């Protein structure tokens, strides 16, 4: 059994408070100081200690492998707030045992926009990976693990050999997520997330009411060993280690102990996503409608599930026409930062349950209505700037 251990690194550019009265004043949309302060705090709790642990693991066990996807907005903030975080990632990549994935530069919903936005964002991200890490990724990961047949075809056109997706029961039709599958696009394999084993770490690790608490590396390796199949995808948010679960829970020690625990199980070995896509597919994986790794429904409802979210996204889509017509790089960059999926995630409305709790945990607003109003004010100002720039250039 090959273990694909994949971690996602992302930070959005969160909006400043932008009132209606701020329209036309030139006030920045994004609260730079707050974003960078937050990044520095998470770097201290999570990024530095976890990257240091991973480097030690890679040095001590040449069989260990890990894969990363890193958004462009994360790298922008890291460069300003904690450039040593980028240096740490560079050292890991230099070991040759780390794979990097491609995705949308802005962690955006560009896949729902007409061309060429998705193509341009993926190209921007590819270039960033080459500039910083001297690597050109061959596997594509879409924002929030969104996947469908059309995106597989896009991946094929762009020359990717694989994509990641959620190992959800619907498209699997009774089959195991612990295999590589073939997409509808020739030459593009799909590596699936085993959401149960992934969530045992991502969500349940520090839950004292969980029947398997406490989770040790030895117990977890045994579960992996007994899991049927040939490839198991453990896909996690990087901030699982030290941020969502503080170091005091033992999460970093659990991580450090994994390679030795896995080494004691003779049927287990580590693999990168690029190793995994070379495994012969076990069968077809057909997904006509988009699915994601978010919420219980695994669809696009986390970002487009209510009228506010759909209204905001439709307005953003229309604003893109004006932003592009302005031919102003700063306006285009601001528009793309406003396409980041987090802004729509903050507008999620639900009363109770695990999904609502997760949305509230990640939101920077007291309620989704404030998130919507703030976003629309900024978007309307960007539309005004775009029109003014277009008129001035004619």
Instruction: Sketch the domain layout of the chain as residue ranges.
Output: 2-276, 301-392
Nearest to 254 by CA among 204, 293, 210: 204
Which one from 103, 121, 144, 239 is the annotated catalytic residue? Answer: 144
What is the third-level CATH fold of 2-276?
Answer: 7-stranded beta/alpha barrel (3.20.110)
What integer pLDDT is reported at residue 392 of this predicted model? Answer: 81
What integer pLDDT is reported at residue 362 of this predicted model? Answer: 56
Residue appearing with tokens 């302005």: 326
Instruction: Find the mean pLDDT for residues 333-352.
Output: 92
What integer pLDDT is reported at residue 354 of this predicted model? Answer: 55
Residue 350: pLDDT band (50, 70, 90) is: confident
What integer pLDDT is reported at residue 364 of this predicted model? Answer: 78
pLDDT(139) > 60? yes
What integer pLDDT is reported at residue 363 of this predicted model? Answer: 73
Residue 286: pLDDT band (50, 70, 90) is: very high
Which own/partner contact pairs does 110-116 have at CB distance under 8 Å and 24+ positions apart?
A: 110/143, 110/339, 111/142, 111/143, 111/146, 111/151, 111/154, 111/290, 112/313, 112/317, 113/317, 113/320, 113/339
Active site residue 144: yes
pLDDT(68) > 80? yes
pLDDT(226) > 70? yes
Question: Out of 2-6, 239-243, 360-364, which region has the weakest mean confidence (pLDDT)?
Answer: 360-364
Residue 16: pLDDT band (50, 70, 90) is: very high
Q: What is the pLDDT of residues 241-273, one digit of tens each?
A: 999 999 999 999 999 999 999 999 999 999 999
Instruction: Find the mean pLDDT for residues 140-160.
Output: 98
What integer pLDDT is reported at residue 351 of this predicted model? Answer: 55
Q: What is the pLDDT of residues 370-392, one digit of tens each?
A: 999 999 999 999 999 999 998 88
pLDDT(353) > 80? no
What integer pLDDT is reported at residue 394 of this predicted model? Answer: 64
pLDDT(145) > 80? yes
This prediction has a pTM of 0.96
Instruction: Find the mean pLDDT for residues 329-358.
Output: 85
Nearest to 60 by CA among 219, 255, 240: 255
Instruction: Find the mean pLDDT for residues 178-197.
Output: 99
Residue 393: pLDDT band (50, 70, 90) is: confident
């Amino acid at each position: 059994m090959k273990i694909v251990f994949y971690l996602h690194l992302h930070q959005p550019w969160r909006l400043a408070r932008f009132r209606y009265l701020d329209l036309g004043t030139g006030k920045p949309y994004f609260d730079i100081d707050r974003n960078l302060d937050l990044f520095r705090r998470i770097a201290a709790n999570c990024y530095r200690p976890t990257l240091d642990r991973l480097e030690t693991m890679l040095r001590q066990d040449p069989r260990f492998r890990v894969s990363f996807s890193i958004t462009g907005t994360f790298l922008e903030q890291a460069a300003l707030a904690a450039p040593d975080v980028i240096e740490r990632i560079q050292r890991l990549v230099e070991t040759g045992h780390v794979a990097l994935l491609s995705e949308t530069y802005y962690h955006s919903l560009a896949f729902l926009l007409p061309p060429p936005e998705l193509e341009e964002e993926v190209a921007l991200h590819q270039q960033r990976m080459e500039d910083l890490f001297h690597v050109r990724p061959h596997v594509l990961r879409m924002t929030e693990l969104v996947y469908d047949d059309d995106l597989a075809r896009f991946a094929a056109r762009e020359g990717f050999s694989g994509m990641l997706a959620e190992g959800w029961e619907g498209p699997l039709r009774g089959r195991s997520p612990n295999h590589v599958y073939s997409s509808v696009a020739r030459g593009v394999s799909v590596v699936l997330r085993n959401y149960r084993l992934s969530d045992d770490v991502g969500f349940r690790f520090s839950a004292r009411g969980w029947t398997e608490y406490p989770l040790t590396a030895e117990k977890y390796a045994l579960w992996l060993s007994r899991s049927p199949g040939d490839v198991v995808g453990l896909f996690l948010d990087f901030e699982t280690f030290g941020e969502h679960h503080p170091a005091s829970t033992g999460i970093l020690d659990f991580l450090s102990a994994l390679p030795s625990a896995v080494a004691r199980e003779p049927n287990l070995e580590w693999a990168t996503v690029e190793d995994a896509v070379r495994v012969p597919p076990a069968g077809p994986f057909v997904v006509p409608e988009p699915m994601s790794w978010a919420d219980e429904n695994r669809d696009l409802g986390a970002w487009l599930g209510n009228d506010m979210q759909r209204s905001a996204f439709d307005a953003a889509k229309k604003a893109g026409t004006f932003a592009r017509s302005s031919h102003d790089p700063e306006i285009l960059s601001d528009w793309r930062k406003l396409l980041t999926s987090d802004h729509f995630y903050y507008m999620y409305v639900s009363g109770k349950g695990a999904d609502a709790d997760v949305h509230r945990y990640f939101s920077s607003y007291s309620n989704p209505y404030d998130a919507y109003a703030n976003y629309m004010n900024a978007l309307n100002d960007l539309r005004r700037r775009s029109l003014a720039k277009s008129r001035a250039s004619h």
